């Protein structure tokens, strides 16, 4: 759980200033949860070329979402054709949201 108290307005305005460590932990934890379960080439490409340009948002009621860049498939090239690509991308973004809920002390809605 975060030592920093969560404030929705601060998160919206300056998340990378006030919540950088929490964001970094959520992304890292989500990656580690999938490491070894999926093709490492797909996981690594999504992490480095898509999630590095993604934007987490607090949507309210303890829920977070991750907005991806527009050109996701172009960013990863031929990896986008891998049969695990869509599954890994969806699971990673879902897990980031869940990790943010956990880190900021919200009850999981699962």
Domain ranges of the chain: 8-103
pLDDT of residue 110: 47
Helices 85-103, 40-49: axis angle to 10 degrees equals: 60
63: CB partners within 8 A, 6+ apart: 97, 101, 106, 109
The length of the chain is: 110
Following DSSP, what letter does each residue of 71-82 receive, concatenated? THHHHHGGGGGS
**Neighbouring C-alpha atoms within 13 Å toward the C-beta of 40:** 3
SS3 state of residue 61: coil
Helices 20-34, 40-49: axis angle to 10 degrees equals: 160
Rounded Cα–Cα distance for residues 93 and 99 (Å)? 10
Q: Encode pLDDT of 6-65 as tens digits.
A: 999 999 999 999 999 999 999 999 999 999 999 999 999 999 999 999 999 999 999 999
Rounded Cα–Cα distance for residues 33 and 20 (Å)? 20
Q: Encode pLDDT of 94-104 as tens digits.
A: 999 999 999 99
Average pLDDT over residues 76-81: 94
SS3 state of residue 65: strand
Q: Tell me the whole-structure pTM to 2 decimals.
A: 0.90
pLDDT of residue 5: 82
């Amino acid at each position: 759980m975060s030592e920093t108290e969560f404030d929705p307005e601060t998160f919206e305005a300056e998340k990378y200033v006030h919540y950088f460590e929490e964001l970094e932990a959520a992304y890292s934890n989500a990656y580690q949860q999938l490491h070894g379960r999926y093709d490492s080439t797909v996981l690594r490409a999504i992490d480095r070329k898509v999630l590095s340009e993604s934007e987490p948002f607090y949507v309210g009621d303890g829920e977070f979402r991750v907005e991806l860049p527009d050109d996701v498939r172009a960013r990863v090239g031929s990896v986008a054709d891998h049969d695990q690509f869509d599954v890994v991308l969806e699971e990673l973004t879902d897990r980031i949201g869940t990790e943010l809920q956990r880190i900021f002390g919200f009850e999981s809605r699962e």
